[in-house]
Structures are given as structure tokens and as C-alpha cells.
């Protein structure tokens, strides 16, 4: 009896071994082995020097390591974040000696302060409205145009009011801050580049009119500010000084540096480096302002 069962025993053992081997092979190739497949069908990227033992035949050996992208600066709506840098003032045709000014990071208004924005300030603190406003109101249809006809003190008062609203330091820009915001870390004569473009700014050769802010996206400065050339002149915080560093007076009034030119100027005068002076108590129908924010 045992001699007749022996062949069946061997046959059973052989079948078991074959079945086990086949099952293991199928599991390896089609199962959930993490060494071969990712259940989510995502591309798996190795980070770091995982292939340091690969020989020189690796086809990726000459591919440079990507430079990490800096996290972009975040700015509130309506403000542009400006990275700090060094700005040269004076020299050249100027009577002032060349000096270099280090500027820290700051935020600057993307546009000049508009009639609508200034009206909110006038109403909130009962500030005197610009003289050309009728009954203390700006003309219909001009709400998005830059406010003009304000003195340096008016612009400063607006900044002090806004400081309380934002709980941050708000003030007029220095000339160096204004230049850095206008051309970035370049030597370009215009916010948009080295050559004049009629579609980038308004001037006396085009329409000669002050237009609503953000009318010239082609002229946007490197950090995002609109109309830093043309439209309206802009007050800065800097006093006008002579070559000896003494304030330049107009009668008894101190004078301040103004930048950017206006739509009334010929384009040859509308450059980032162009500057003018204005008695701080004398408004003009082509002079407005924008502010900077220094976070506490």
C-alpha cells in the first residue's frame, strides 16, 4: 500500500512547490511592493544627494542644481514691496557732491493718492480740502485721478492719519527711496527701461492731461508702482539743500524735493533722475504725492 501512495506524495509536494513559487512571483510583480509602485500613481522625486554612488556615466551629472526661488514679498493691496539697495544721489551735472544712500526694505503706494482716498481723510478729520475742489468736493468723474493742489504739510497730515489706520509708520518717501522704487536696481532713465515709450507715460507731447491712476500699465516700475513718471509731480520728504548742506529757502519757506514730473512736461524732462524743488507751503495743480510704509 505504501509503495502505491509514494508516487502521489511526491506529486503533491511538487505541485505545492510550483504553486508557492508562482504565487510569490505574481505578488512581487503585481502586488503592493513599495519598491516598485506607488499606489497613488505619483512621481516620486528623491531629494538630496541620494545618488552619490552612481558612476560618471550618469546622464544627469552635468545638470546644475536649481537655485531655490526666494519667497516673494507680500504686500497689502495697493502697495508694492521694494527691496532695499544703494542709491546714488548728486554728481554729474548736479551742483551736489555724489553720495550713495543705503535704503532698507519698504512698501510704497502702487499709485499716487487719489481724490477718493484723500476725500476720506478730509471727511474723517475735517481737514481743509484742496482749493480747487468745489464746496469741499472733487469734480465728478475725477475720483480715480491723483489728488493735486496739496501742500507738503497736507500730504504729511494724510500720512499721519493713515499711520493710525494701518498701525504702521506711513510717511512721504525720501528721494533715494523714490528712485529705488522707480527704477529698481538698474541705471535705467525710465521705470520701464532705457528708451522712452509713448504708451508708458503721459507727457506734453501726448495728451498733456492728468489721467486716472493705473492708466499706463506699460510704464509700471520694476517693483510694481504705476505712473512714477508723468501724470503728477510727487512730494518727497527731503529738503532741498545747497552744496554746503544748508536748506534752500523761498522767502521764509523751506523747499522740498519733488520727483516724477507731470503730464505738462516735455518728455525730455521726464526721467527718474530729474528733480525739482518746491516751497513746501505752495500747492500746484500738477503736484500730488504717494506714501511709503515702514512696518514696525
- pTM higher than the cut 0.85: no
Task: Give the tens place of pLDDT for each residue, 7-63.
Answer: 444 455 454 444 444 444 433 333 333 332 233 322 222 222 223 232 333 333 333
Q: How confident is the model at residue 81 (pLDDT cuts 50, 70, 90)?
A: very high
Which string of DSSP letters, residue by residue, matches 180-214? HHHH-SS--SBTTBSS--GGG---TTTT-----TT
3-class SS at 18? helix
Task: Give the tens place of pLDDT for each residue, 202-234.
Answer: 999 988 999 999 999 999 999 999 999 999 999
In terms of C-beta density within 10 A (0-12 exposed, 13-18 middle, 19 or more buried), how is residue 221 classed?
buried
pLDDT for the residue numbered 73 = 55
pLDDT for the residue numbered 207 = 82
β-partners of residue 137 are 134
Amino acid at each position: 500500500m505504501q509503495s502505491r501512495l509514494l508516487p502521489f506524495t511526491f506529486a503533491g509536494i511538487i505541485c505545492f512547490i510550483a504553486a508557492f513559487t508562482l504565487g510569490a512571483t505574481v505578488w512581487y510583480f503585481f502586488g503592493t511592493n513599495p519598491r516598485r509602485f506607488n499606489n497613488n500613481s505619483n512621481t516620486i522625486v528623491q531629494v538630496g544627494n541620494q545618488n552619490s554612488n552612481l558612476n560618471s556615466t550618469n546622464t544627469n551629472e552635468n545638470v546644475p542644481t536649481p537655485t531655490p526661488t526666494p519667497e516673494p514679498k507680500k504686500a497689502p493691496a495697493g502697495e508694492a514691496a521694494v527691496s532695499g539697495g544703494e542709491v546714488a544721489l548728486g554728481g554729474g551735472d548736479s551742483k551736489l557732491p555724489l553720495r550713495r544712500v543705503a535704503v532698507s526694505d519698504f512698501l510704497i503706494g502702487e499709485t499716487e493718492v487719489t481724490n477718493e482716498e484723500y476725500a476720506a481723510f478730509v471727511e474723517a478729520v475735517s481737514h481743509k480740502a484742496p482749493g480747487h475742489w468745489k464746496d469741499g468736493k472733487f469734480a465728478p468723474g475725477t475720483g480715480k485721478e491723483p489728488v493735486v493742489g496739496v501742500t507738503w504739510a497736507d500730504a504729511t497730515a494724510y500720512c499721519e492719519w493713515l499711520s493710525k489706520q494701518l498701525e504702521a509708520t506711513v510717511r512721504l518717501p525720501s528721494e533715494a527711496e523714490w528712485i529705488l522704487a522707480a527704477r529698481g536696481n538698474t541705471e535705467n532713465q525710465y521705470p520701464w527701461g532705457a528708451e522712452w515709450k509713448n504708451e508708458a507715460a503721459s507727457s506734453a507731447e501726448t495728451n498733456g492731461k492728468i489721467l486716472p491712476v493705473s492708466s499706463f500699465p506699460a510704464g509700471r516700475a520694476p517693483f510694481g508702482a504705476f505712473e512714477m513718471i508723468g501724470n503728477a509731480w510727487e512730494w518727497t520728504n527731503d529738503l532741498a539743500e545747497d552744496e554746503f548742506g544748508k536748506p534752500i529757502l523761498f522767502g521764509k519757506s523751506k523747499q522740498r524735493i519733488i520727483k516724477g514730473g507731470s503730464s505738462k512736461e516735455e518728455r525730455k524732462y521726464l526721467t527718474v533722475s530729474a528733480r525739482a524743488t518746491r516751497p513746501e507751503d505752495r500747492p500746484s495743480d500738477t503736484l500730488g504725492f504717494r506714501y511709503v510704509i515702514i512696518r514696525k
